[in-house]
Amino acid sequence: MSDLRVNSWSELQDELFRGSWNEGIGRYRSSFVFRGLSDKTYPMDTSLMRLGGPYSELEKHLLRNFRKYAQSMAGELGSFWRLLTVAQHYGLPTRLMDWTYSPYVALHFATENLERFDVDGVIWVVNFHEVHKFLPDELRNLLESEGAQAFTVELLASLRLATECATSDSSSFHEFVETLTEFDRLGAVEDFLLFFEPPSIDDRIINQFALFSVMPNPRRRIDDWLNSHPEVFRCIIIPAGLKWECRDKLDQCNITERVLLPGLGGLCTWLKRHYSSGPHN
């Protein structure tokens, strides 16, 4: 899908909330998730990809050692889904990618970096309901059986693989998916994209209205997959000249680091930016 360039705050609002009406329930309940980037040219690389080198081979070693050394600080990490979530949250390179249900949180991340105010930003808008139609049967059936719109860590931990019985043509569920290698087998025939909600580890996840995306191939780029399914997403381009207006209005709406990154670090980041010189100073 071609990029949608907005030219004013009001036009941006229309685009951020376009398609949010849900006819089935008669409410404005969006089926979209959002990701904001301060530079529209940034690739949609995971933090694992940005590690460089043979990153896909290093993934299991990163997670194994994180589990080994994080026990005393993070407690029981349980399934590999929870392990991935906690690791991503605290900065370990993983194949997960951060998203939000909130268009304003995404706009914050597209306008937080003052050093990139001279370039256009972007907000990726993805219809996760449509994305999940491309899931393999095991995952789609699991979601439908739960009557849920998005996966959770607990729901994914209950996933079992269907395998052919040796004595019949029928399939049976017998093996829980307990490793990334087993999860990757689901995408052996065709790649897919999956969104899931993390547990509320701390206020940062709650306040950012956060969720993660994951693919069954650590080398697969999410924008490549999206571009092969242009009907499920759009990109809203935030012109450089509009960023300061967006930033100031978000601050007035209390969409700031002080709220989204609770703690002294977030407070200081907000104050530093709040008192920085604007474009007319």
Distance CA 188, CA 35 (A): 27
Token code pair at residue 115: 């050093």
pTM: 0.91
Q: Is 17 helix (H, G, I), strand (E, B) or coil?
A: coil
- Residue ranges, the chain, pLDDT below 50: 163-168, 170-174
Q: Judge whether 191 and 220 are in contact, CB under 8 Å.
A: yes
Token code pair at residue 146: 């739960």
Q: Please tell me the predicted confidence (pLDDT) of residue 1.
A: 55
Q: Give tens-digit pLDDT for 126-158.
A: 999 999 999 999 899 999 998 888 899 999 988
Q: Where are the alpha helices (DSSP H) in 101-209?
A: 103-111, 128-131, 137-146, 153-157, 180-185, 203-207
Token code pair at residue 53: 């080198």
Pairing of strands 194-197, 151-152: parallel
Q: Please tell me the predicted confidence (pLDDT) of residue 74.
A: 61
Distance CA 265, CA 263 (A): 5
Distance CA 110, CA 117 (A): 9
Q: Give tens-digit pLDDT for 158-201.
A: 887 654 444 445 444 445 688 898 899 999 889 999 999 999 98
For helices 9-16 and 243-252, give the axis angle rounded to 10 degrees: 70
